[in-house]
Amino acid sequence: MKKNVKKVVLAYSGGLDTSIILKWLQDEYKCEVVTFTADIGQGEELEPARKKAISLGIKPENIFIEDLKEEFVKDYVFPMFRANAIYEGEYLLGTSIARPLIAKRQAEIAAMVGADGVSHGATGKGNDQVRFEMGYLSMNSDLVIIAPWREWDLNSREKLLAYAEKNGIVIEKKPGKSPYSMDANLLHISYEGLVLENPAAEPEEDMWRWTVSPENAPDQSEVIEITYEKGDPVALNGVKLSPATMLAKLNEIGCKHGIGRIDIVENRFVGMKSRGCYETPGGTIMLRAHRAIESITLDREAAHFKDEIMPTYAKTIYNGFWFSPEREMMQAAIDKSQETVNGTVKLKLYKGNVSVIGRDSKTNNLFSEAFCTFEEDEVYNQKDAAGFIKLNALRFIISGKNRRNQGKA
């Protein structure tokens, strides 16, 4: 049953789906539509979205195109990487981490323009519908949420194209555009559909849009140095960079060396398994570097505790609970741990591989050569280890005696 709504803010890309949704909202809900296009580093020219919206009757003052790249990396990507978050052991959460920011800003624009509704183009089969709507509800639960894919019968590309033709919606076919279902931002690009729907089929090489294949990457390795402050990368090869510039530079270097390709089958929150391919070049480099600097600056139990909560933290983001109290609680603990994560990491990049070749911290180094050396030292009495081992084995000693006594009975 349709709810009455006067003005709706639509998450709008200017592509086939959201252009049709724009017209469909006007026709089905008889409402005023405001478009919001977020630049989070997807690498596409966004001004055509403005022209497309105007051609579909949107007033210029109702078109919002905003550069959110710095906010995206600083307030979403970097906090996630402080946790070393990976979903199901492989996925670096590139799409998952972008949705909360888009939803938050969409709800803020709704408040600015006096809209009573929001809309998105996520399907009823995927995770994004949850991520968007969790964000809306966290910001303003009074907003009417319109998810066209759960309402209309335009459930195939053929029907969408027919609707576009009937309503005079121009769908431009860009040269070289991939036929796969893709999502891109400054952290990653994803691919779904077509041959990928068969998990046994190898992806076609021309599918990959960012990275050179590892086989064709340069035969000469490249060494880079990343400087960390409180768990965040702040300089590359000694040059200070903003968060978005840092990630963009690491992407550029990683793409050249064929770094960050993965092909996985993941468990969606809505229940089914899904096969997807991802390119996350800069993120793959950052993850390796961050774990390296943590290895010499984090206390053992703090590091182990982080590793224990990381899968829960990653699942929380994947499932769309970025604004939840539990994510904020985990984030507070993670951020506290990062106060000592300061220093530099040297990495060697070569044909799809990222190798750590050095790490150092002038202020927070817990690696003590005096204690760990294999040469003679004056700070560690090796005889102390005997008591340490015996005390830790006490429960084994007691249970062993019990087993032997039972054997005699």
Provide CB contacts within 8 A for 141, sequence distance 6+.
none
Q: What angle do CA 66, 71, 76 make, to 5 degrees?
A: 125
Q: Is 55 a catalytic residue?
A: no
Integer Cα distance of 231 and 357 in angstroms: 19
Q: Of residues 50, 96, 105, 128, which has the active-site annotation?
A: 128
Residue pair 38/147 in contact (Cβ under 8 Å)? The answer is no
Measured distance CA(24)–CA(5) in Å, rounded: 14
| Nearest to 85, CA basis, from 343, 317, 336, 356 | 317
Residue 99 a catalytic site member: yes
Pairing of strands 7-11, 181-184: unpaired
Contact indicator for 83, 313 with CB cutoff of 8 Å: yes
Q: How many CB atoms lie within 10 A of CB 239?
A: 11
Virtual torsion, Cα 306, 312, 313, 317, nearest 10 deg = 160
Catalytic residue among 138, 178, 181, 324: 181
Say if residues 354 and 217 touch (Cβ distance below 8 Å). no
Active-site residue, from 13, 19, 82, 99: 99
32-39/7-11 β-pairing = parallel
Cα dihedral angle (338, 340, 342, 346), rounded to 10 degrees? Answer: -80
Q: Which of 182, 185, 184, 183 is nearest to 194 (CA)?
A: 182
> Longest C-alpha distance within the chain, in Å?
91
With tokens 């009757």, the residue in question is 57
Please report how many Cα atoms fall inside a 13 Å half-sphere around the Cα of residue 395, on the Cβ side. Answer: 1
Residue 377 is among the residues annotated as catalytic for this protein:
no
Q: Write down the catalytic residue from 13, 17, 190, 261.
A: 17
What span, in angstroms and rounded, lies between the C-alpha atoms of 276 and 273?
10
The letter for the amino acid at 348 is K
Catalytic residues: 17, 99, 128, 181
